[in-house]
């Protein structure tokens, strides 16, 4: 049975990426034509998706990752049935343009608010072999995020 958890991990990663890709198909991106999808995996095993939604007033555009997180909280609250804050274990972000798309800084900060320690982000990144799915800890992507000490 050695190696089974790793296999499950691989399947879960594939499922997360597939789910993010499906969400990207819903994107409203007539201005950039850059369709992004995000899938959040929470500690309770639930998956919540989001896509980017643009606006003719460009600055009002809302990213896929933040839409997914805000959707999760809006629909079921920030606190789980066990009374603890819902936490994200993993996030997949992808786009339908086959381009590198690491999450933007604002989304990193927002995801960090609800991330479990060691939470990972999967995204298409620029590598020595071209654009490939890379995995990074959110702590690596946002080493000095904003915090209010003591709160
Ligand atoms: N976008 C996201 O959805 N997530 C990010 O992390 C960065 C960018 C969207 C916003 C805009 O609709 C399009 O990608 C191009 O910037």
In a domain, 128, yes or no: yes
Residue 149 in any domain: the answer is no
Q: Which domain holds residue 121?
A: 10-141
Q: Cβ–Cβ contacts within 10 Å for residue 7, how many? A: 9
Q: Is residue 1 part of a domain?
A: no
**The CATH number of the domain where 88 resides is what?**
3.40.140.10
Binding region for Zn(2+): 63, 104, 107
41-87 per-position pLDDT tens digit: 999 999 999 999 999 999 999 999 999 999 999 999 999 989 999 99
135 falls within a domain: yes
Report residue 146 as tokens.
């904003």
**Rounded-to-10 torsion of CA 127, 131, 134, 140:** 60
Q: How much is the pLDDT for 6?
A: 73
Give pLDDT tens digits for 93-129.
Answer: 999 999 999 999 999 999 999 999 999 999 999 999 9
pLDDT computed for residue 150 by the predictor = 66
What is the chain written as a DSSP string? -TTHHHHHHHHHHHHHHHHHHHHHTT-B-TTT---EEEEEEETTS-EEEEE-B--SSGGG-B-HHHHHHHHHHHHH-SB-TTSSBP-EEEEEEEETT----PPPHHHHHHHHTTEEEEEEEEEEEEETTEEEEEEEEHHHH-TT----TT-
pLDDT value of position 149: 84
CA 69/CA 85 separation, integer angstroms: 13
| Residue among 104, 105, 108 to mutate when testing ligand 1 (max atoms within 8 A of CB) | 104
- Is 63 close to ligand 1, i.e. is its CB under 6 Å away? yes
Distance between Cα 4 and ligand 1 center (Å): 35
Whether 37 is in a domain gets the answer: yes
Please report where in the chains the tokens 């790793």 appear, as a residue: 6
Q: Count up the domains in the chain and report the number.
A: 1
Q: Does residue 5 lie in a domain region? A: no
Q: Is residue 143's pLDDT more than 70?
A: yes
Q: Is residue 2 part of a domain?
A: no
For 4-45, what is each residue's pLDDT tens digit? Answer: 667 769 999 999 999 999 999 999 999 999 999 999 999 999
Q: Do the domain assignments include residue 3? A: no
103 token code pair:
């999450």
Q: Is residue 151 predicted with pLDDT exceeding 80?
A: no
């Amino acid at each position: 049975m050695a190696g089974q958890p790793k296999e499950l991990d691989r399947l879960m990663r594939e499922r997360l990426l597939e789910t993010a890709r499906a969400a990207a198909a819903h994107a409203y991106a007539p201005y950039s034509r850059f369709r992004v999808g995000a899938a959040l995996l929470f500690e309770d095993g639930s998956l919540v998706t989001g896509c980017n939604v643009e606006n003719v007033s460009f600055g009002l555009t809302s990213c896929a990752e933040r839409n997914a997180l805000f959707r999760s909280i809006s629909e079921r609250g920030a606190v789980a049935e066990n009374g603890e804050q819902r936490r994200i274990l993993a996030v997949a972000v992808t786009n339908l343009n086959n381009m590198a798309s690491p999450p933007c800084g604002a989304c990193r900060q927002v995801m960090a608010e609800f991330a479990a320690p060691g939470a990972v982000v999967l995204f298409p990144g620029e590598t020595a072999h071209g654009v490939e799915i890379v995995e990074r800890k959110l702590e690596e992507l946002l080493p000095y995020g904003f915090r209010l000490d003591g709160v």
